[in-house]
Amino acid sequence: MTVTTRPPTGSAPGPAPSRRSLGDRLGARLSALPTVAALLIFVGMIIYGEAAYGRIVQFSTLSNLLVNNSHLIILAVGLTFVILTGGIDLSVGAIIAVSSVAGVMLSNAGWHPVAAVLVMVLIGSALGLVSGVLIQYFGVQPFIATLATMFLARGLASMLSTVPERLADDSAIRELATQLKIIDGEKVNDLVVTPGVVAAVVIVVLGFLVLHRTRFGRTVYAIGGSEQSATLMGLPVPATKLGIYVISGTLAGIAAVVYTSRLGSAQNITGIGWELDAIAAVVIGGTLLTGGTGFVLGSVVGALVLGLMNVLITRDGGIRPEMTTIITGGILLVFVILQRVLAARRRSETG
Amino acid sequence: MTGAPPIVEMTGISISFPGVKALDAVDFRLFPGEVHTLMGENGAGKSTLIKALTGVYKIDEGQILVAGVERRFGGTADAQAAGIATVYQEVNLCANLSIGENVMLGHEVRGPFGINWKATHRAAAGVLATLGLEQLDLRRPLATLSLAIQQLVAISRAMVTEPKVLILDEPTSSLDANEVANLFTVIRKLRDQGVAILFVTHFLDQVYAISDRITVLRNGGFVGEYPTRELDRTTLISKMIGKDFATLRSLGSERQTHHYEPRGEPLLKAEDLGRKGSSEPTDLELHQGEVLGLAGLLGSGRTELARLLYGADRPDSGTVWLRGKKTDIHNPTAALSHRIAFSSENRRDEGIIRDLTVRENLVLAVQAKRGWFRPLSRKEQDALTRKYLAELNVRPADPERPIKFLSGGNQQKVLLGRWLATEPDLLILDEPTRGIDVGAKAEIQAAVAALAAKGVAVVFISSELEEVVRLSDRIIVMKDHRKLAELENGPHVTAETIVAVIADEGDDEEGDSE
């Protein structure tokens, strides 16, 4: 027997542990990196906007950003749940259409506003349940199942009405968009919130608590990691998968209430493509489309990045509004590539 | 296991799958405070029986009593509720979550404000400490751990519910000797606490080291239940395979004694082949008709070296000559066109495609080599499949059965057939016999020997040193991602020789650093 190689051995025993713990800390935060990046980009956009156009860092602009995007934030929270399990929900935009048209018509027909709002939310829950049952018990791919629900919801909305339905001026539902002044600034520079914004904030906080402080939430992450493992661990996988589509549908119903109260009217073509905006917000916020990694707060940042981008484009004036979607696409692409790089890094670490 | 009534009593269990009776009237008893081993070849029905007990499969006939109460399990959660916890052979944890989260998933400690993470992590740390894993940082992602440690984490997870029955389905297949010893200490501790442990393994040494009783299955049928001390190894093996042990034994040692003398130019020659972080620069020569063993512990860099040879990873140093010509093997497709084939150690994820049939799995590599625009005709596919199913004795020899219904050993044979069908000059086999039974193991070893006799150069990677010694003409011993030594095999070389090489090096290292 011949010993062919014998290079010098070992490093000094001292520094090894501290070096490893640094690597650990980086490893633990790797999954939060895309979310942090989204936050940085958001801050960067605000600074750029303030420097280039002015009047960005002021109460009225920032409150309008929240008021105008509260429905998108609510949708994004719902989609975060779905995408964390590795699923997708394409039906939320259409759910908003059918829910808001039905709500306005019921309200105008003399229903009590609370009852009308409740029906709007429950329409969302019911359609979410349809998607969930198709996916969990009929084994349909989430993409196809929610596509079917989307067509169903859009069709139902068109059956109800094909013209804009205007909410009566004295309807109590409009009060949900009342602007409440928190800080009375100079002229119109006020810090305002609407009940819709409050609803969005409450939903974000609840979404965060459910995902991180309940077994249901942990099961959502486990399914996204490996559905097979989650099943073998004895976690309630079927109930959880059903649950997340009901949550997503219900939140779409709530988003419909928030949006309708602000606009004061509803139409069967409302919300076309909003599901994609919401998905974009979730992805920009750092949630992996393959599931298992991501945060609700990231999705909020994602929605605000999209909203702020629209504000900046309007302020610029030189950018044609048609460019908006191209810019959205560009931002999305950058984030997806960032995620791929991180995923590849993590694979090479384990493999 | 004396006067106490059995905690689990299964009688007359039958389960059928399309076209095959997986279990036929099997009886099984498990007593509190015993370690009971389930033995049988691959395909004997061990996994099926376990899955019946853990609620994964529904039983067609028979009765399951747990603690004297008849149970019908609708799913794994039912079985867990009845006090039956399971650790599977393939680690079933969530790589995206942290260690602590994995241990406690579904059992998190809850307070008035939802999950109390502090208490949850404390509970997780407590369970991990009983397995001697207290040094693990609970907040680290699971994915950063080695497979062996992940397996121990999975066992910790099973202990969280304080189960009455703990099923360990080949928990040792990816553990090294120290880790096995550590695990056995834990198993004995649990047994003494009155937990009934059902243990499945292919390592006979481990069976005799740990188990109190043995139940043997063969071809889905019940052979018998025996106290371990009344059943010697030879009898056990002949009960498992239903034939004489001597015929199996004869396959082995021949090669070691009449080993092949390499002649002429090497088929493959590598100089300074390496990749930063995965493989130190290594020299290597490989001749036609030679079996080169790569020996070393798990994580010693055997797979990484093989991946460089096959182009699955790009080397960042060194040169490779193939048949005397300088060659750059930059990806697996290029390797295949140079007649180099690689069978991965990760059978489940990188090997078989579960939902395809045996035939479709077998022809994949040939088809890839020919290019997808020149499809193999059905006749060619059938001929290839028939040839290799017969040559490698795949059971059942049904080319149209989805491969997921085959046992691990038979899946491995199909994979071997897949690469043989490409008629390689160089075949790299990474752990081809891991987790498969004695019979299938012997058949695969015989196939490797036959290949070498036909002039194929084989790189054989295995954690079982005896196997490497029996099969190889030359052995490269690896440690810490580098080549430690190269041994000419011969009658003087044994598994102990290799262990000594690895251990000596370790001693030196300690001496140097002090």
Q: Decide if B8-245 and B264-339+424-514 have a common fold.
A: yes
First to last CA, chain B: 50
pLDDT value at A68 more than 90:
yes
The confidence band for B3, taking pLDDT boundaries of 50, 70 and 90, is: low
- What token pair was written down for B174? 């990816």
CB-CB neighbors (< 8 A) of A343 in chain B: none
For chain A positions 171-210, those within 8 Å of chain B (CB to CB) are 209
Residue A65, number of CB atoms within 10 A of its CB = 18
E-assigned strands of B377-444? Answer: 426-430
Between CA B493 and CA B256 the distance in angstroms is 9
CB-CB neighbors (< 8 A) of A8 in chain B: 512
Between CA A187 and CA A60 the distance in angstroms is 10
**CA of A293: which chain B residue's CA is closest?**
B96
Interface contact A1-B487, CB threshold 8 A: yes
Look at A331-345, B35-49, B67-81, B301-315 and tell me which has the smallest mean pLDDT.
A331-345
CB-CB neighbors (< 8 A) of B143 in chain A: 346, 349-350
Q: Closest Cα of chain A to B76: distance in Å? A: 5
Residue B362, SS3 per DSSP: helix
The confidence band for A17, taking pLDDT boundaries of 50, 70 and 90, is: very low
CB-CB neighbors (< 8 A) of B120 in chain A: none
Residue A16's pLDDT is 36
Residue A28 forms contact with B (CB below 8 Å):
yes
pLDDT value at B155 more than 70:
yes
pLDDT, tens only, B98-148? 999 999 998 899 888 889 999 999 999 998 887 778 888 888 888 888 777
Strand partners, B357: B402
pLDDT, tens only, A236-275? 999 999 999 999 999 999 999 999 999 999 999 999 999 9
Interface contact B114-A10, CB threshold 8 A: no
Interface contact A225-B110, CB threshold 8 A: no
Q: Is residue A350 part of a domain?
A: no
Residue B384, number of CB atoms within 10 A of its CB = 20
Residue B461, SS3 per DSSP: strand
Residue B120's pLDDT is 92
How far CA A145 is from CA of A86, A121, A134, A243, in Å, comes to 14, 20, 6, 15
Residue B94 forms contact with A (CB below 8 Å):
yes
For range B356-383, the mean pLDDT:
88
Strand order in the sheet with B221-227: B69-70, B61-66, B8-17, B20-30, B221-227, B213-218, B35-39, B196-200, B165-169, B84-87
Residue A7's pLDDT is 40
Interface contact B76-A218, CB threshold 8 A: no
CA dihedral A90, A96, A97, A99 (to 10 degrees): 130
Residue B511's pLDDT is 37
For chain B positions 26-85, those within 8 Å of chain A (CB to CB) are 56, 75-77, 79-80
Q: Is residue A109 part of a domain?
A: yes
Interface contact B93-A229, CB threshold 8 A: yes
Residue A116's pLDDT is 94
Interface contact B94-A1, CB threshold 8 A: no
How far CA B163 is from CA of B30, B80, B85, B182, in Å, comes to 14, 8, 6, 20
Interface contact A225-B95, CB threshold 8 A: yes
| Mean of pLDDT over chain A | 86
Residue A197's pLDDT is 93
Between CA A145 and CA A249 the distance in angstroms is 13
Residue B444's pLDDT is 85
Interface contact A222-B108, CB threshold 8 A: no
CATH topology of domain B8-245: Rossmann fold (3.40.50)
Q: Closest Cα of chain A to B393: distance in Å? A: 31
Residue A27's pLDDT is 47
Q: Closest Cα of chain A to B19: distance in Å? A: 24
Residue B76's pLDDT is 79
**CA of B96: which chain A residue's CA is closest?**
A225
Residue A27 forms contact with B (CB below 8 Å):
yes
The confidence band for B503, taking pLDDT boundaries of 50, 70 and 90, is: confident
Residue B175's pLDDT is 73
**CA of B115: which chain A residue's CA is closest?**
A213
Interface contact A209-B114, CB threshold 8 A: yes
For chain B positions 432-461, those within 8 Å of chain A (CB to CB) are none
Beta-sheet pairing, B291-295 with B474-479: parallel
Q: Is residue A294 part of a domain?
A: yes
For range B461-481, the mean pLDDT:
84
For range B271-300, the mean pLDDT:
85
- Residue written as token pair 């916020």: A285
Interface contact B482-A7, CB threshold 8 A: yes
DSSP codes of every residue in B270-316: EEEEEETTTEEEEEEEE-TT-EEEEE--TTSSHHHHHHHHHTSS--S
Q: What percentage of chain B has pLDDT greater than the value 70?
A: 92
User: What distance separates the 2 farthest-apart alpha carbons in chain A?
Assistant: 96
Between CA B296 and CA A52 the distance in angstroms is 63
For range A63-90, the mean pLDDT:
95
pLDDT value at B416 more than 60:
yes
Residue A21's pLDDT is 46
pLDDT value at B419 more than 60:
yes
| Mean of pLDDT over chain B | 83
Question: Which of B86, B97, B167 best tests the A interface by mutation, with the highest count of A CBs <10 A?
Answer: B97
Q: Is residue A314 part of a domain?
A: yes
Interface contact B509-A232, CB threshold 8 A: no
Interface contact A9-B513, CB threshold 8 A: yes
Length of chain A: 351
Question: Is the peptide bond between B6 and the residue preceding it cis, with omega within 30 degrees of 0?
Answer: no
> Which amino acid is it at B455?
G
pLDDT value at B20 more than 80:
no
If one compares A119 and B76, the residue with the highest pLDDT of the two is: A119
pLDDT value at B193 more than 60:
yes
For range A213-231, the mean pLDDT:
92
Residue B277's pLDDT is 76
∠ CA A248-A252-A257, rounded to 5°: 150
CB-CB neighbors (< 8 A) of B97 in chain A: 218, 221-222, 225, 292
Q: Is residue A6 part of a domain?
A: no
pLDDT, tens only, B392-415? 888 888 889 888 888 888 888 899
CB-CB neighbors (< 8 A) of B482 in chain A: 5, 7
- B219 closest CA partner among B390, B23, B410: B23
Between CA B512 and CA B514 the distance in angstroms is 6
CA dihedral B126, B130, B133, B137 (to 10 degrees): 0
If one compares B406 and A31, the residue with the highest pLDDT of the two is: B406
Interface contact A1-B92, CB threshold 8 A: no
Between CA B475 and CA B487 the distance in angstroms is 5
The confidence band for B245, taking pLDDT boundaries of 50, 70 and 90, is: low
What is the CATH classification number for the domain harbouring A98?
1.10.3470
Interface contact A233-B106, CB threshold 8 A: yes
pLDDT, tens only, B203-235? 778 888 889 999 998 888 898 899 988 888 778
Question: Which of A9, A29, A205, A287 best tests the B interface by mutation, with the highest count of B CBs <10 A?
Answer: A9
Look at A8-12, A24-28, A124-128, B419-423 and tell me which has the smallest mean pLDDT.
A8-12
pLDDT value at B2 more than 70:
no
Look at A156-170, A194-208, B396-410 and tell me which has the smallest mean pLDDT.
B396-410
Residue A18 forms contact with B (CB below 8 Å):
no
Task: Count how many domains chain A has.
Answer: 1
The confidence band for A40, taking pLDDT boundaries of 50, 70 and 90, is: confident
Contacts for A97 with CB less than 8 Å, ≥ 6 apart: A153, A154, A157, A256, A266, A267, A268, A269, A270, A271, A272
Q: Closest Cα of chain B to A241: distance in Å? A: 15
| 3-state DSSP helix/strand/coil % of chain B, to nearest 5 | 40, 25, 35
Interface contact A4-B485, CB threshold 8 A: yes
pLDDT value at B431 more than 80:
yes
The CATH number given to B264-339+424-514 is: 3.40.50.300
∠ CA A222-A223-A224, rounded to 5°: 90
Question: What distance lies between CA A297 and its chain's CA centroid?
Answer: 9
Q: Is residue A54 part of a domain?
A: yes
pLDDT value at A335 more than 80:
no
Residue A329's pLDDT is 87
Residue A336's pLDDT is 77
For range A331-335, the mean pLDDT:
83
Residue A30's pLDDT is 63
- What token pair was written down for B148? 């062996």
The confidence band for B304, taking pLDDT boundaries of 50, 70 and 90, is: confident
In this complex, the residue of B114, B485, B493 whose CB is nearest that of residue A3 is B485
pLDDT, tens only, B372-395? 888 888 998 999 999 998 888 888
Interface size A-B, in CB pairs within 8 Å, comes to 125
> Which amino acid is it at A199?
A
Q: What percentage of chain A has pLDDT greater than the value 70?
A: 88
Q: What percentage of chain A has pLDDT greater than the value 90?
A: 55
The confidence band for A205, taking pLDDT boundaries of 50, 70 and 90, is: very high
For range A205-212, the mean pLDDT:
95
For chain B positions 100-139, those within 8 Å of chain A (CB to CB) are 101, 105-106, 108, 110, 113-115, 137, 139
- Predicted complex ipTM: 0.79
CB-CB neighbors (< 8 A) of B485 in chain A: 1-4
The confidence band for B246, taking pLDDT boundaries of 50, 70 and 90, is: low
For range A152-176, the mean pLDDT:
90
C-beta separation of B157 from A233 below 8 A: yes
If one compares A103 and B372, the residue with the highest pLDDT of the two is: A103
For range A128-137, the mean pLDDT:
95
Residue B337's pLDDT is 86
pLDDT value at A79 more than 80:
yes
Interface contact B96-A212, CB threshold 8 A: no
Q: Is residue A14 part of a domain?
A: no
Strand order in the sheet with B457-461: B340-343, B426-430, B457-461, B291-295, B474-479, B482-488
Q: How do the domains of chain B map onto residue ranges?
A: 8-245, 264-339+424-514, 350-423
Residue A125's pLDDT is 97
The confidence band for A22, taking pLDDT boundaries of 50, 70 and 90, is: very low
Interface contact A292-B94, CB threshold 8 A: yes
Domain holding A108, by residue range, is: 33-344
C-beta separation of B311 from B332 below 8 A: yes
